[in-house]
Structure 1
């Protein structure tokens, strides 16, 4: 990968990738006769210099910018309602999501809500809600600032209920962005913890997509390449970041999101309840649970573990070392290796296990999981 190059590619979203491509956003908006975008971000990104420069550059060429950033760390339905109200009351003509998974999920859910007027969770994919996504979506653009969720290339948004914090998944092919501006330079100033946690999120996406029991050879191939890119770059991007390592991580993050249309698995079902119950950062929850989920999945998937290990620099037939590699990587990145390190105690286990068995990811796991299995894994990870 040459960091001086800029690329256009579609998969299937149109993606503009390369250092400095964010400078093309204003020209893109003007070319599509869009002059009143709602920029959706989070409270932290809103205060960063690069975000202020984006808004200043847009304003300088006559684009009337409105910013919405009133979102929770794990987004809830009321966040979406507030964003929709701001879009409508200020008469916007496009939505630009700028940030990590939170901003991009909320911006996508706002885009869904503008011309769809049922209760937001009527569109939950797990109850067949995609059938109601029939109206056009406002012009929707995504700009990732982390290398983790890959939401910029996705077609779904995970939004929680306000009271119960139960996660709902809104999905439809029409929710894909019309354009992605993926600029590695925007990720350079991320603090080490965020880089590490979001990077482990991307690794988990690629690994779980590859292990998923569903058949999708193209996604499996993409996931393996994503695993290799992360193995080459995550430690460097976290501890001694440069544009090459950031570029590889940003690409691998998008690859993980593309690959997991094949499905995810047990690790995400272990992680989601931690965000719901304890408001744990999603990437951190994945990072801590990944080795324990891999240990559960190893038997019966040995050949796939061998393939992943090869991509991470191990010799042929050394897939059994993958679990230890992940634990060691967490230590190198300064992340906890046990649930107790993120505030979990034994009293949480029954509730976490009940939430995990109800989660929507583990049905795609390569082997079935029971509530008792979840309890055992949580206790082992504690």
Structure 2
């Protein structure tokens, strides 16, 4: 494929992919008789030139824009409530999420809350709350600005409790965007650290989805191609980005999010507590933990690791080679090998292990993970 034209995919939602795709937003809104969107983003993106250009284009088309950027980098329930208040007070008719995983998760949760006003966590998928998502939801559009979470194509939002920091999953097919404008040009000026951390998040999604215990051949095929695209492009996207590397990373990120409907695993359950307890960037938390989590998973799943190694075109087609590849990749993109380098201290380990065993991701790991396993993995990574 060439990287200077726009393609349309319908998988599972409509995806307009390619350089300049984000410029189609205004015409799309008008075509759908929408003129009062709430734009949900974060405070950093709200200051960037491409975001201001999107807003200016909408205003030129007489679209009345309201921007809500007041969110945490690891989103909490109060962010969603504040955004819904703005939606109500300014009488919006659509929601557009522009940003990385945090902005898109908050946007999706506001989409839910607009017409579902009981306590937000009543709708937690882990306690069967999806059955209560019965009302209509506002028209929802996503524009990703990082190649990491793939939230733009998802059906769920991860929101933490303000007090306990425990993460909840809000899920429903109703929460899928009507359309995604995936424009790699919006990722061209991402700083190297953000590119590296979000890129390793995408790799973790693809690898964990491939290994997750639920059988799902469609997702496994997507995950392997996502792994291949990331291996071709992440190092270049971090250190010497061009349109091709940025495009491949954006596609691979969406592929990871499509694949992980199959499930995630031990790495995400190691990473989530770092974000909730220490406010660690989610992608960075995954990046540091993934070699250790993959090492834990090798025994008993050698055939799957052989397939991953082959996809990565490694000389030795085994799990140890995959783990070594992950450490080497982290080195090449300036991700540290140890948790102590990102602020984790020995006194944190017991609390982290408690949070990890309570996390929602590891039940889909290919093998069971105990609290003691989590403790040992943290100590090993420390």
TM over 0.5: yes
Task: Report deviation, 1:316.
Answer: 6.3
Counterpart of 2:88 in structure 1 is 88
After the TM superposition, which of the residue ranges 5-14 and 235-244 deviates more from structure 2? 5-14
Contact 2:5–2:18, Cα closer than 8 Å, also in 1:
yes
SS in 2 for 1:344: coil
Counterpart of 1:131 in structure 2 is 131
Counterpart of 2:53 in structure 1 is 53
After the TM superposition, which of the residue ranges 3-12 and 77-86 deviates more from structure 2? 3-12
Task: Report deviation, 1:12.
Answer: 1.2
Counterpart of 2:301 in structure 1 is 301
Q: What does the per-residue CA deviation read over 1:234-273, in whole Å, with 9 as the maximum and x for residues that have no partner?
A: 0000000000000000000000000000000000000000
SS in 1 for 2:259: helix
Counterpart of 1:224 in structure 2 is 224
1:35 paired to 2:43: no
Counterpart of 1:145 in structure 2 is 145
Counterpart of 2:237 in structure 1 is 237
Distance, in Å, in 2 between the alignment partners of 1:114 and 1:317 is: 50
1:76 paired to 2:76: yes
Task: Report deviation, 1:320.
Answer: 2.4
Task: Report deviation, 1:315.
Answer: 3.7
Q: What does the per-residue CA deviation read over 1:323-343, in whole Å, with 9 as the maximum and x for residues that have no partner?
A: 011011111101111000110
Q: What does the per-residue CA deviation read over 1:101-160, in whole Å, with 9 as the maximum and x for residues that have no partner?
A: 000000000000000011000000001100000001100000000000000000000000
Counterpart of 2:159 in structure 1 is 159
Counterpart of 2:210 in structure 1 is 210
Counterpart of 1:373 in structure 2 is 373
SS in 2 for 1:43: coil
SS in 1 for 2:52: helix
Residues 169-184 of structure 1: matches in 2 within 5 Å? 169-184=169-184
Distance, in Å, in 2 between the alignment partners of 1:270 and 1:65 is: 39
Q: What does the per-residue CA deviation read over 1:72-95, in whole Å, with 9 as the maximum and x for residues that have no partner?
A: 111100000000000010000000
SS in 1 for 2:170: strand
SS in 1 for 2:44: helix
Counterpart of 1:188 in structure 2 is 188
Contact 2:295–2:319, Cα closer than 8 Å, also in 1:
no
Counterpart of 1:350 in structure 2 is 350
Distance, in Å, in 1 between the alignment partners of 2:246 and 2:312 is: 18
TM-score (norm 2): 0.99
Distance, in Å, in 2 between the alignment partners of 1:57 and 1:302 is: 52
Distance, in Å, in 2 between the alignment partners of 1:35 and 1:317 is: 54
Runs of 4+ in 1 over 4 A off after TM superposition: none
Q: What does the per-residue CA deviation read over 1:175-199, in whole Å, with 9 as the maximum and x for residues that have no partner?
A: 0000000000000010000000000
Distance, in Å, in 1 between the alignment partners of 2:233 and 2:318 is: 21
The total of aligned residue pairs comes to: 382
Contact 1:216–1:262, Cα closer than 8 Å, also in 2:
yes
Task: Report deviation, 1:228.
Answer: 0.0
SS in 1 for 2:158: strand
Task: Report deviation, 1:4.
Answer: 1.8
Contact 1:149–1:202, Cα closer than 8 Å, also in 2:
yes
Distance, in Å, in 1 between the alignment partners of 2:84 and 2:257 is: 25
Structure 1: gaps of 5 or more residues: none
SS in 2 for 1:157: strand
Distance, in Å, in 2 between the alignment partners of 1:320 and 1:163 is: 40
Counterpart of 2:272 in structure 1 is 272
Distance, in Å, in 1 between the alignment partners of 2:308 and 2:136 is: 40
SS in 2 for 1:314: coil
Task: Report deviation, 1:317.
Answer: 2.8
Distance, in Å, in 1 between the alignment partners of 2:40 and 2:276 is: 23
